[in-house]
Homo-oligomer: A and B are copies of this chain.
Amino acid sequence: MFSTHGSPDEAFRAHQAMGQGVEFDTIRLLMSRWGDLAVDIGDDAAVLPRLISGQRVVSTDACVEDVHFRRAWLTPFEVGHRAAAAALSDLAAMGARAECVLVAFIVPPSWEGDLPQVADGIGSQVRAAGARIVGGNLSRGRIFAITLTVIGVAERVVSRAGAAVGDLVLVTGTLGGPGAALAAWENGNAPEAWARSRFAAPSPRLAAGAALAAAGATAMLDISDGIAADARHLGAASGVWLALDERRLPVGPGVEPASALVSGEEYELLVTMPPAAFAAVAERWEAEQGVSLTVIGAVESAGAAEETAAVRGHDHFGTDQ
């Protein structure tokens, strides 16, 4: 169904002026699923609009079968939803709104029938983010993989490197769901619905990220390695030492704090900001953003990269968990 060599990406370009041949059928199908979400596809590259204000940011993120998910765990729609949400989460972590998405598929024959639903899942997240699909690539291959490139615009870029002593450490949402879902699946059990949903259908915190940037966040990242590891990443980038209070972690039902600390792929935001900046938004935050924002610690001192986060509570964690 796709050309073996020649140019699979030609296919995406073919939206502008379809050529003959079955290799374009799959692209026509994708375009029909995406409808008005897919714009300006049909040239060698997409032209980005001129910026009025802000700065463009870009990130790429892959979702590979049997590495990031197993086919038995997710519906095809969820595979697409999750891949797109994970990629868009990187824009949220910069304080950016989403602008454009490029979607590169590697599709084995066994997945061809599911591609429309995967495309719908991607489309649902692109639409929710207010973005557009401006290009892509379609290739055969022996595994199923989606590599998404996301481009956004930040009015105020927030990196990982700005945390300062005295800042509060905060996190959006509740933690532990993806870890609980993975643990259940890996033990041969069905995860609880809330945990499964947190793994299968995450929400990139784009509005929250932009609001935190506007409110004066000093450093931010999304929790993809687990909050313990990501706190160390943020601390290392900022050259500070983060003290987290395990008892304050916002955990899902039945989740132990120690599990929440290492639950990856959360796609929640870990953020630092001065207490006064937090106080200015705290009262109205949850009503306006629809997601919780919880103080879980503080930036205590400048520190070496080897020990940039620690957790107070009944259990300290090592650096190699």
Binding site for B on A (CB under 8 A): 3-10, 13-14, 16-21, 42-48, 50-51, 55-62, 64, 66-68, 89-91, 93-94, 96, 100, 102-104, 106, 134-137, 139-143, 145, 147, 149-152, 154, 157, 159-161, 182, 220-222, 224-226, 229-230, 232-233, 236-237, 264-265, 305-306, 319-320
> Is A137 a contact of B19 with CB atoms below 8 Å?
no
> Is A233 a contact of B94 with CB atoms below 8 Å?
no
Main secondary structure of the interface of A (DSSP, over half): mixed
Closest beta carbon of chain B to A177's beta carbon, Å: 14
> Is A46 a contact of B19 with CB atoms below 8 Å?
no
CA–CA, A5 and B159, complex, Å? 23
Q: Quick one: given A59-B46, A160-B17, are A225 and B142 in contact (CB under 8 Å)?
A: no
CA–CA, A91 and B19, complex, Å? 21
Q: Quick one: given A59-B46, A141-B143, A225-B7, are A16 and B161 in contact (CB under 8 Å)?
A: yes
> Is A46 a contact of B58 with CB atoms below 8 Å?
yes
**Which residues of B lie under 8 Å from residue A106 when comparing CB positions?**
62, 64, 106, 143, 145
Tallying the copies of this chain within the complex gives 2
Q: Quick one: given A10-B224, A106-B64, A142-B142, are A48 and B44 in contact (CB under 8 Å)?
A: no
Nearest chain B residue, comparing its CB with the CB of A161:
B16
Q: Could you list 27 examples of A-B contacts with CB < 8 Å?
A: A4-B67, A5-B264, A7-B224, A8-B62, A9-B61, A9-B90, A14-B233, A17-B160, A19-B233, A20-B320, A43-B161, A43-B221, A44-B220, A45-B59, A46-B57, A46-B59, A48-B58, A58-B149, A60-B102, A60-B103, A60-B135, A61-B137, A62-B104, A64-B140, A102-B149, A106-B145, A141-B145
Given contacts A44-B59, A60-B137, could you give 16 more A-B pairs where the C-beta distance is less than 8 Å?
A3-B225, A5-B264, A13-B160, A13-B233, A18-B305, A21-B320, A44-B94, A44-B222, A47-B55, A51-B51, A58-B134, A62-B137, A62-B147, A68-B139, A106-B145, A139-B145
Query: What are the 6 tightest A-B residue pairs by CB atom distance, in nearest-first order?
Result: A7-B224, A17-B236, A45-B59, A44-B93, A45-B57, A6-B264
